Each structure stands twice: as C-alpha cells, then as structure tokens.
Amino acid sequence: MFNKDRMAGIDVDTIRAFFDSDNPLYKKSTQEIVPNLSLITEALIRNNIRIVAPCDHHFGDKEHNLAEKELKINGGFFDLHAEHGTIGAQKISATKLYDIVFPLLNRDVVIIPNDANNTRLAEQLDEVIMDARQIIVQKQSIDVFYRDDNPGGNVYFEHILDMLCIEDVFVYGVYAEYCIYTAVLGLLNSKRNVWVITDAIVPYDRDDGVAALKCMEQMGARFITTAEFRNILKHNFEII
C-alpha cells in the first residue's frame, strides 16, 4: 500500500527548452509524450500528491561557470538553453499547474533557486514547501543532486525530499540518458523506491537511452507505463 503523503512525482525538465522546436536541444520525440505528461500531472493533482520538478535554469555567465560545466561556453557539450528570463526556462502547459487546475493559491506552486547563500530561504524552507503542490527546483547541471563535485545540483533538492518524508517516487520527463538517469541514480542512492514511467520519458539519442534504461533497471528502478501508474492511484486512492 502507498501513502500519498510520502509519494511524489519527479517531473524532470519538462520545460520549453526541450519541447519547443526553436530551441537547440529540442527533439521531435518529446511531442509524443505530451499527452501522457498531461495525464500524469492531472492524476497527481487530483490525488493531492506532490510534484517535485527539477528544471534546468542556466545563466551562461562567469559567475555560474563552475556550476554550468555542461555548457559549451564552459567546455561542456551543450548549447546554452533554459536561459534565465527566457521562455525556454518555463514549464510546458502539460505539466504547469496553473494551466491544468485554475485557480490555485500562490503557495501551491513554489520555485526553489539553487542559492546556498539565501539564508532566508534556508530558514523558511519547511514553511515554503509544506503546502506546495508543485515544487520547481532549479538546477544548473544535468544532475539535480548537489555535491562538492556537482555545484550545479540544487542544494535543497534532497533536503526537500527528506523534509517531506518522501519514500516512493515516480519519475518522468527528459532526457533518459542525462537528467533522468542521474535523478534516478541519486534517488536510488538515497534509499527511495523508484518507478520510471517509461512512456513518459524520451532519450536524446535512442541507443544511449536504451543503455540508460538498462542501467536504471539493473540498479533497482522499476518500470511502469502511464496506464499502470494511473491504476496504482486508482487502486490505492480511488481517484484518477
């Protein structure tokens, strides 16, 4: 049996930088999962299950060069994307609460910047997230988990999951071999039960995506479809 208070949808990088065709990291295949992303988001909201959404949020300046090592301007592989203040950094309608359920209170959606020096946020984090239905966690690297060797990960992400006592997570979004893979690895390492919703993720490269899925499964992630996910909620909570 599941406890909805200890469950979360982990909505990875469903932002316009990867879903709009005029962005450099866009893949046409992302359009195929939009209907399932909408179904998943609606089911989570109807069941009052939190959504924690790691999202790329880049600056492309000298101040953030160590955190943004993935970018070509800092010696990485990727063009600047999801840039601060641009449409590319915004969530797509299928996973944006204000486009799905309206009206909502302001506190229902909160944005957590990757700012270790924000003492006010650190002190009030529990108050900020406790009533939130969607927690958007900004990151500057592929891996949302912060470490000394990954300063682009969000310093608050794992702490948020711990504060909310999240045990069971359902992962979906883009791209399978990059941000999905690192999120799944980190979630498994933090001793959480991880389900990957396979028809709600896409790879950047098909072969690399297949290899990443195989590794996730070997590490202990369980694979389900969107329909199976909705059935889990129906059988446990009678609402889809």
Q: Is the pLDDT of residue 104 over 60?
A: no
Q: Which of 46-55, 60-69, 113-122, 200-209 has the lowest mean pLDDT?
A: 113-122
Domains of the chain: 4-237 (3.40.50.850)
- What are the pLDDT digits (tens) for 74-99? 999 999 999 999 999 999 999 998 75
Confidence at residue 191, expressed as pLDDT on a 0 to 100 scale: 97
Dist. CA 200–CA 224, nearest whole Å: 10
Confidence at residue 175, expressed as pLDDT on a 0 to 100 scale: 98
Dist. CA 109–CA 124, nearest whole Å: 16
CB distance 236 to 210 below 8 Å: no
Residues with Cβ within 8 Å of 59's Cβ and at least 6 positions away in sequence, in order, are 68, 83, 84, 140
Dihedral over alpha carbons 61, 67, 73, 74 (to 10 degrees): 130
Q: Is the pLDDT of residue 55 over 70?
A: yes
Confidence at residue 187, expressed as pLDDT on a 0 to 100 scale: 98
Mean pLDDT of 44-70: 96
Dist. CA 53–CA 157, nearest whole Å: 10
Dist. CA 199–CA 139, nearest whole Å: 24
| SS3 (DSSP) at 2 | coil
Dist. CA 199–CA 82, nearest whole Å: 24
- What are the pLDDT digits (tens) for 159-185? 999 999 999 999 999 999 999 999 999
Confidence at residue 99, expressed as pLDDT on a 0 to 100 scale: 58
HSE toward the beta carbon, residue 147, CA cutoff 13 A: 8
Confidence at residue 102, expressed as pLDDT on a 0 to 100 scale: 43
Average pLDDT for the chain = 94
Confidence at residue 107, expressed as pLDDT on a 0 to 100 scale: 63
